[in-house]
A and B are shown apart, each in its own frame.
Chain A
Amino acid sequence: MRSMLKTSVAALATAAVMATGAFAAGHAEPLTGDLRINLDTSNPAPRATMEAMIARFQAKHPDLNITTTVIDREAYKTQIRNFLSADAPDVLTWYAANRMRPYVEAGLLEDVSDMWAEGTDIAQELASTKGAMTIDGKQWGVPYTYYQWGIYYRKDIYEELGLKEPANFDEMVANCEAMIASGRKCYTIGTKWLWTASGWFDYLNMRTHGFDFHMQMARGEIAWTDDRVRQTFANWRRLVDLGAFVDDHQNKDWQQSLPFLVDGSAGAILKGNFAVAPLREAGLTDDQLDFHQFPSITEGVALAEDAPTDTFHIAAGAQNKKAARAFLAHMASAEEQSIINNGENLGQLPVNANASIDDDKFLKEGFAMLSSNSPGGVAQFFDRDFPAEMAKAAMEGMQEFMVFPDNLDDILARLESVRQDVY
């Protein structure tokens, strides 16, 4: 993952050379039989996108009998273990990195390293995420979309107060002080489902100590009571003590935190690009809403980003693995990724280096940031990089810290004891 920059630049360069239609080769032999697909894309837009994408695959393989099951996105997270072991589909959606580890280790996902072998299109065009798809030296699926995280802010309010996009943490804090002086909150957040708080930790930790330190923590090599971890929390505390975050965030989910940004009672939000669509729907124009990268904290620490990747996998118990592989290849193709990620569909970034990025302000900015201004590396997201049990306990601790920062010692001691159990 560390070499994301280099590889994606390399992949971009090869893009010009590569012939188009490279995937046609895989479709020579007609596919028959059943193909069962389980999807977690239950929101209306992603659902329609996926259905259209499957229809295009069907058109290429008319003899294939495709059955699609769409499961509610949240429910999917708990149902996956049931259907994988009891009634395995051929193809399923899931997430990269540690989130797929339990299923890989239980032998429930198909090893698709053959699709990633040197010289294949996937190996060239999706090289940037190979690391996130790799466990034990093998690849276990293909990515179809990812999105940047960063600070989405109200440009009009910043301008009104004469503020600029912060270049470092001190400026960020100074901006925040000005924002509070104007009677607003700096950042809106809803931590009821915990993961939003860990977004802040990811960035504060990666900016304070860098990507490698963050990943060492994810692997359990660093004690939570380590002074460096405390330093990250001390930076966080600067914001908490200012009153930077909206009140009562522990009762709100992330959707409920958005109105504060829309009505201008908060100036910014740290969030993934999926927040843009609901904010636009709520009436914010592109003149009002803007994006900036999370600023540097410790000088000299290479910037690293969170960019969660959503993926397709083949179940180990799949009945039609040949068709499933063809489907994954279809999903990975530049052509398909350009379509499904454009503004009318998912509104996210294609993983395939040859795919075109939609002409959208935030997507362009995000792509530029990830491909040229994230030299430190690209992380998946806290709850995808850290093992489930550690992530759960830590996110709970972070939520508590944001409400009662004085409890920090207790929280860190607790997390340290969880770490010793988990790893």
Chain B
Amino acid sequence: MATTTTNAKPRAQQGWYKRNEIAVTPWLFLIPGIAMFALYVILPVFQSFYLSLFEWDGLGSLSTHGEYVGLDHYEKLFTRDRAFNISLWNNLKWLIFYLLAIPGGLMVALFLNQKVFGIRLYKSLFFFPFVISQIVVGLVFTWFYDPQFGLSNWLIGLVGIPPVNILGNPTTATYGIIAAGLWPQTAYCMILYLTGLNAVDPEQVEAARLDGAKGHKMLWYIIIPQLKPATFIAFVVTIIGALRSFDLISIMTNGGPFGSTRVLSFYMFEKSLSEYGFKMGYGAAIAVVLFMIMLVFIGYFLWSMYQDEKAAGH
């Protein structure tokens, strides 16, 4: 009988945890993270949606002071609210033009990717705008654009263009702010590409060179494909940066002139939390719309990462 002389009890007599150890342990480790994420990210998403169905000024409790209005806020947003339309268009402008940071960052990175004396210093100087606060960037550019004493008008004056008031003109103001935003964002993309360039396989470059590739061809067919992971991350952070653009707008124009530089995040703040904003429900509805837009991109990012993982054979 006693063929196996172990202390181990038969499986049926082991504790539940022992039996399921392999399956359960990872979840145990994940619980704190999941709980935090659920509490501070997932739950508020649903709360925002719930809140957007009410007319509420944020004072007093929602149950006593809030008034249920159904989807009225969304109806108003999409049919009657011109400020919302302007914000949506500006968000689109941000999404498109902010992406210029990616080729810009690549160019700077290629330029700085050499071994010269003091190159580390140059690299840190180029990275500097990303380190300083967005508020400071905004202030610097506000002065730069100043129609009376700003450097920008002096610069374009050199080539004979009359002075313009970039931030004071509703058609140019958003582009002016985006340009300011590109300064730190380019630096960020640059650093991503610099690390990416370190990982470029020298053997492939060598082989390409033997095959006669140089200049643009080398860049396009050999270097850039190897930078794909860096490009992906740069794309992700730039899109997210574009959608959350807020501080620059707040500091440079405060949404003006006459509301022409608002984006969704700023408009949401203005409607619900700013000095004159007491419409929590309406702000929440804007937040939900912004979330839906972000969801498209987040969905794409997740899908694309999932594909990568699958391809890697996990």
Number of A-B contacts (CB under 8 A): 73
B interface, by DSSP: helix, strand, loop or mixed? Answer: loop
Closest residue to B57 on the A side, CB-wise? A102
Closest residue to A250 on the B side, CB-wise? B257
| Residues from chain A with Cβ under 8 Å of B76 in the complex | 421
CA A389 to CA B276, docked complex, whole Å: 6
Which of the residues A102, A396, A403, A421 comes within 8 Å of B278, measured between beta carbons? A102
CA A103 to CA B278, docked complex, whole Å: 11
Write out, one digit per residue, whether chain B residues 37-69 have a CB within 8 A of any chain A CB (1) or not (0).
Answer: 000000000000000000001111000010000
Write out, one digit per residue, whether chain A residues 244-281 have a CB within 8 A of any chain B CB (1) or not (0).
Answer: 00011011000000000000000000000000000000
Which of the residues B65, B254, B258 comes within 8 Å of A106, measured between beta carbons? B65
Which of the residues B167, B259, B279 comes within 8 Å of A389, measured between beta carbons? B279
A85 within 8 A of B: yes
Q: Nearest Cβ distance between residue A85 and chain B, in whole angstroms?
A: 6
Question: Given A192-B254, A392-B276, A403-B257, is A251 in contact with B59 using a C-beta cutoff of 8 Å?
Answer: no
CA A102 to CA B254, docked complex, whole Å: 24
Question: Given A397-B258, A400-B257, is A388 in contact with B276 using a C-beta cutoff of 8 Å?
Answer: yes
A78 within 8 A of B: yes
Interface residues of A in 278-310 (CB under 8 A from B): none
B21 within 8 A of A: no
A77 within 8 A of B: yes
Closest residue to A411 on the B side, CB-wise? B258
B59 touches A399 (CB 8 A): no
CA A335 to CA B254, docked complex, whole Å: 41
| Residues from chain A with Cβ under 8 Å of B65 in the complex | 106
B104 within 8 A of A: no
**B interface residues, tally (CB under 8 Å):** 29
**A interface residues, tally (CB under 8 Å):** 32
Question: Given A192-B256, A248-B147, A417-B80, is A108 in contact with B59 using a C-beta cutoff of 8 Å?
Answer: yes
A194 within 8 A of B: yes
A250 touches B60 (CB 8 A): no
Interface residues of A in 32-73 (CB under 8 A from B): none
B196 within 8 A of A: no
CA A106 to CA B58, docked complex, whole Å: 9
Question: Given A85-B59, A250-B168, is A391 in contact with B257 using a C-beta cutoff of 8 Å?
Answer: no
Interface residues of B in 149-189 (CB under 8 A from A): 165, 167-168
Which of the residues A106, A391, A399, A403 comes within 8 Å of B276, measured between beta carbons? A391
B75 within 8 A of A: no
Interface residues of A in 384-407 (CB under 8 A from B): 388-389, 391-392, 396-397, 399-400, 403
B88 within 8 A of A: no
**Among B148, B167, B254, B274, residue most surrounded by chain A Cβ atoms (within 10 Å):** B148
Closest residue to A401 on the B side, CB-wise? B258
Question: Given A102-B59, A248-B148, is A78 in contact with B273 using a C-beta cutoff of 8 Å?
Answer: yes
Interface residues of A in 343-369 (CB under 8 A from B): none
What are 23 inter-chain pairs, A to B, with CB distance below 8 A?
Answer: A81-B59, A84-B59, A102-B57, A106-B59, A107-B60, A192-B253, A193-B254, A194-B256, A247-B165, A248-B147, A250-B168, A250-B258, A251-B142, A389-B277, A389-B279, A396-B259, A399-B256, A399-B257, A400-B257, A403-B168, A403-B257, A414-B82, A421-B76
Interface residues of A (CB under 8 A from B): 74, 77-78, 81, 84-85, 102-103, 105-108, 192-194, 247-248, 250-251, 383, 388-389, 391-392, 396-397, 399-400, 403, 414, 417, 421
Interface residues of B (CB under 8 A from A): 57-60, 65, 76, 80, 82, 142, 146-148, 165, 167-168, 253-254, 256-259, 270, 273-279
**8 tightest Cβ-Cβ pairs between the two chains A and B:** A106-B59, A400-B258, A392-B276, A388-B276, A106-B60, A250-B257, A77-B275, A248-B147
